[in-house]
Chains A and B, each alone.
Chain A
Amino acid sequence: MFLIPDPVVRFFHRMASPPHFYAFTERLMPWLVVIFLLLTAAGLYGGLYLAPADYQQGDSYRIIYIHVPSAWMSLFIYMVMAVAGAIGLVWRIKLAEIVAISSAPVGASFTFIALVTGSLWGKPMWGTWWVWDARLTSELILLFLYLGVIGLYGAIDDKRTASRAVAILALVGVVNIPIIHYSVEWWNTLHQGPTVTKMDKPSIHVSMLIPLLLMAVAFKFYYLIAMLQRARTELLLRERNAQWVKNMISESK
């Protein structure tokens, strides 16, 4: 590994060891929670109180402080899941498999939130709860991909085999990610084009943009918290016969 600095490589090597991962995430967790709470408080205060109303939508636009970060997370988590799955497939690292499967329910939840909040906004603004345009349909397919990953993992008893099957499904589903992102540019859709994630200057006033970005980072931390908690449980479940788990349990008794 020549491109990545040594300390980073050492960090990842150590993180791949289950007991080390378990102990490290335990120490990390309070910090993540504190950062998440601070960012959420700042983002919500900025978005719901400080940010001005929109010139056309009035206060209804404020749903973007939930909708847009959730939609970003739905794509981001899918990529994390697919990359972790690929690492698990190639290097057979148990923790990569665990990170991949622990990401799925969190990603599915964010996808669901993005769809529901979009629908709630769509009724008064567009005049309809749902349309089958390219953006909405591809996001719905993303939800089904997440549910497929969760279902497939649950259907196979041997969890190492299950992880491999799930990784392949997740990797095939990766094609959907650029489709979701570019759907509003490739086709005529009812959903508007990108406001922030484009090469141009964002078409949102800076007073509205800052809380949005705060919320986006806050959601990243929420994902870390939720995913790591799931990963820790999954790790204990898989390693329940390992010596380090037995030692830990006897120590805590």
Chain B
Amino acid sequence: MKPARKQRLMLIGLMVIGAGLATGFALKSFNENLMYFFSTTDVVEGKAPKDTLFRLGGMVIKGSVERPNDGLMVRFKLTDFSKDVTVEYTGILPDLFREGQGIVAHGKLNAQGVFIAEEVLAKHDENYMPPEVKDSLKNKSAPVTGQKS
């Protein structure tokens, strides 16, 4: 390779590495802000903000969904398989909302430590399969496939 070309190739390499490093450091320092939601453990340990709106993500615990006043208000528990948080929400839930499904709620904590949600979004997992396969998995009593949240 001719020296001039070699030099240009090196310059390009350095430029890409430099840009990569700069972006890497910037993202690392903003890491907290780039998290779309807090986990339930964060909330229980008090890492989530008080008195301001934030997002809480977790899996809806099976059998925890109830409608106390027979109205639109729903109460359910979210978990990240270590700590639980109770959530209350008044409104229409998305299609994918169901027990055992990951969701992200936007709202804030009240004085009792209950999360009052203003918006509930369903988090889809990365699994796609026909209903028959799901049924046969259930019969084999396989655990629910990995939730990332």
| B126 adjacent to A194 (CB under 8 Å) | yes
**Chain A min CB distance to B47 (Å):** 13
Task: Contact check, B104 vs A190: say whether CB atoms are below 8 A apart.
Answer: yes
Assess the A171–B96 pair: CB atoms within 8 A. no
Tell me whether chain B's interface is mostly helix, strand or loop, or mixed: mixed
- Stretch of B34-42, B62-70, B71-79, B108-116 with 4 or more beta carbons under 8 angstroms from chain A: B34-42
Q: Mark A116-138, 1 if CB is under 8 A from B, else 0.
A: 00000000111110011110000
Tell which of A54, A125, A188 touches B36, judged by Cβ atoms closer than 8 Å: A188
Give chain A nearest CB distance to B16 CB in angstroms: 6
How distant is the Cα of A168 from the Cα of B31 in the complex, in angstroms? 27
Residues of A within 8 A of B9 (CB): 86, 90
Compute how far the CA of A101 lies from the CA of B97 in the bound complex, rounded to whole angstroms: 44
CB of A190 within 8 A of CB of B36, answer yes
Residue A61 at the chain B interface, CB threshold 8 Å = yes
**Closest Cβ of chain A: how far from B13's Cβ, in Å?**
9
B139 within 8 A of A: no
Q: Are B16 and A179 in contact (CB under 8 A)?
A: no
A56 to B145, CA, bound (A): 13
Contacts of B145 in A (CB 8 A): 203
- Tell me if B121 is interfacial: C-beta within 8 Å of chain A: yes
Q: Does A113 contact B (CB under 8 A)?
A: no
A25 to chain B, nearest CB (A): 27
* A158: min CB distance to chain B, Å: 19
Least CB separation from A203: chain B residue? B127
Contact status A134-B34, CB under 8 Å: yes
Determine if A127 and B129 form an interchain contact, defined as CB atoms under 8 angstroms apart.
Answer: no
Q: Which of B117-147 contact A (CB under 8 A)?
A: 119-134, 145
Are the C-beta atoms of A125 and B94 separated by less than 8 Å? yes
Within 8 A of B (CB), among A17-76: 52-57, 60-61, 64
Q: What are 28 A-B contacts with C-beta separation under 8 Å?
A: A54-B131, A55-B129, A55-B130, A55-B133, A56-B96, A61-B128, A64-B128, A86-B9, A89-B8, A126-B123, A127-B97, A127-B120, A127-B121, A131-B36, A134-B36, A172-B19, A187-B31, A187-B34, A187-B36, A188-B35, A188-B149, A190-B37, A193-B125, A193-B126, A195-B127, A205-B133, A207-B130, A208-B129
